[in-house]
């Protein structure tokens, strides 16, 4: 196909080879002055490929006057200016479903790591501290109360895993899900008060910015744990850091942060927080499935004008 695609952000080598075999792809990161390049040649591109961590802001979309479609590798569209895309008539696709299991696996691993202090225990053994005494006791996970913020595909997959640990599940979201039997809490504050573990699997964006506020964090109490496998923007990070430093909650496990890849310095020396590098979906199987779907969306759009997994 003689279709020019602007690529923003790296894909895996097989995906980049597959894209280049079917389209005329230009990696934006190869340009020393991206602004000047887009000003002179932005009109050449009919498609944009990007990742969930990079997205496509207003300036980028507006610099591509011939843009027809944005194909995103990832589920969250919070870093894509959907209003501008909608106004311009630009179609947008993402890759839902294919990363559900790996993100849910990681979220549940984070629950176990936080409750049982597994990462701290690993460091305890490595530094030779075991010969000096026993490792402190952790918190039982099985049978505990699990509150889920956002019971979409990933939230339901976390709940499914929790069933194997005989956990009691309740959830909070923008609306009750009639297809599940779990108790729906009308208030996130009440869910936090009830939960032993509060897991965030909601979508990012303006609608959920700092949804997990200082009050919600405080409601977890000194025996509660916060687990975030969604977006850093959903949590008031300053309030969370303060609660962890002063031990007002038992602990946290975080795969995402407000200013990635920068992590607050105050968290780095704490033993009551698990810190991960936004890796919940990072498996070879999931990335292949996501990138296959990106390619299929592009093929479908330029073949018949329809996306397989449309956002817009």
Q: CA 12 → CA 23, 289, 291, distances in Å?
A: 16, 12, 8
Residues 231-258 have a mean pLDDT of 98
Count other C-beta atoms under 10 Å from residue 200's C-beta: 27
What are the start-end ranges of the E strands in the chain? 4-7, 24-27, 47-51, 69-73, 91-93, 145-149, 168-172, 183-184, 197-200, 225-228, 251-254, 273-275
Residue range 266-280: average pLDDT? 97
The Cα–Cα gap between 42 and 47 comes to 11
- Residues 6 or more apart whose CB falls under 8 angstroms from that of 204 comprise 76, 78, 230, 231, 233, 234
Looking at residue 2, its pLDDT comes to 84
**CATH class label, 100-275:** alpha beta
Quick one: fold of 4-98+284-304? Rossmann fold (3.40.50)
Domains 4-98+284-304 and 100-275 share a fold: yes
Q: Is 78 within 8 Å of 231 (Cβ atoms)?
A: yes
Residue 1's pLDDT is 56
For residue range 181-210, list pLDDT tens digits in order: 999 999 999 999 999 999 999 999 999 999
Give yes or no for residue 96 having a pLDDT over 90.
Answer: yes
Encode pLDDT of 29-43 as tens digits.
999 999 999 999 999
The verdict on whether 87 is a catalytic residue reads: no
Give the pTM.
0.93
Query: Which residue, 258, 150, 276, is CA-closest to 203?
Result: 150
Encoded tokens for 311 = 């956002």
For residues 1-28, give the mean pLDDT.
94
Annotated catalytic residue, options 231, 237, 258, 291: 231
> 231 an active-site residue?
yes
Catalytic residue among 31, 223, 260, 285: 260
Average pLDDT over residues 240-265: 97
Mean pLDDT of the region 53-58? 95
Taking residues 292-298, report their average pLDDT: 98
pLDDT at 159 > cutoff 90: yes
Please confirm, yes or no, whether 260 is among the known catalytic residues: yes
Helix (H, G, I), strand (E, B) or coil at 47: strand
Quick check: 21 pLDDT over 60?
A: yes
Average pLDDT for 205-219: 97
Boundaries of every domain in the chain: 4-98+284-304, 100-275
Q: Which of 176, 278, 296, 299 is catalytic?
A: 278
Beta strands in 140-231 (DSSP E): 145-149, 168-172, 183-184, 197-200, 225-228
**What is the C-alpha to C-alpha distance for residues 89 and 123, in angstroms, rounded to an integer?**
52
């Amino acid at each position: 196909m003689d279709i020019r695609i602007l690529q923003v952000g790296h894909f895996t080598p097989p995906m980049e080879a597959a894209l280049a075999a079917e389209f005329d792809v230009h990696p934006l990161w190869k340009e020393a002055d991206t602004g000047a390049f887009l000003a002179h040649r932005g009109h050449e591109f009919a498609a944009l490929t990007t990742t969930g961590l990079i997205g496509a802001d207003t300036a980028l979309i507006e610099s591509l006057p011939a843009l027809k479609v944005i194909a995103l590798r990832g589920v969250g569209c919070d870093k894509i200016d959907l209003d501008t895309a909608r106004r311009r008539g630009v179609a947008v696709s993402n890759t839902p479903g294919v990363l559900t299991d790996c993100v849910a696996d990681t979220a549940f691993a984070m629950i176990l790591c936080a409750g049982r202090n597994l990462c701290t225990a690993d460091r305890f053994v490595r530094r030779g501290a075991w010969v000096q005494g026993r490792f402190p006791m952790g918190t039982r996970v099985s049978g505990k109360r699990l509150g889920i913020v956002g019971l979409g595909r990933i939230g339901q997959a976390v709940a499914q895993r929790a069933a194997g640990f005989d956990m009691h599940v309740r959830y909070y979201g923008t609306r009750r899900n009639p297809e599940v039997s779990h108790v729906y809490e009308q208030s996130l504050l009440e869910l936090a008060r009830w939960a032993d573990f509060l897991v965030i699997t909601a979508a990012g964006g303006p609608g959920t910015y700092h949804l997990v506020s200082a009050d919600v964090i405080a409601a977890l109490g000194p025996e509660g744990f916060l687990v975030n496998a969604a977006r850093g923007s959903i949590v008031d990070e300053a309030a969370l850091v303060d609660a962890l430093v002063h031990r007002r909650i038992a602990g946290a496990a975080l795969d995402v942060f407000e200013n990635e890849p920068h992590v607050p310095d105050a968290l780095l020396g704490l033993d009551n927080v698990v810190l991960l590098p936004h890796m919940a979906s990072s498996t070879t199987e999931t990335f292949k499935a996501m990138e296959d779907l990106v390619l299929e969306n592009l093929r479908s759009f330029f073949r018949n004008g329809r996306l397989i997994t449309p956002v817009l």
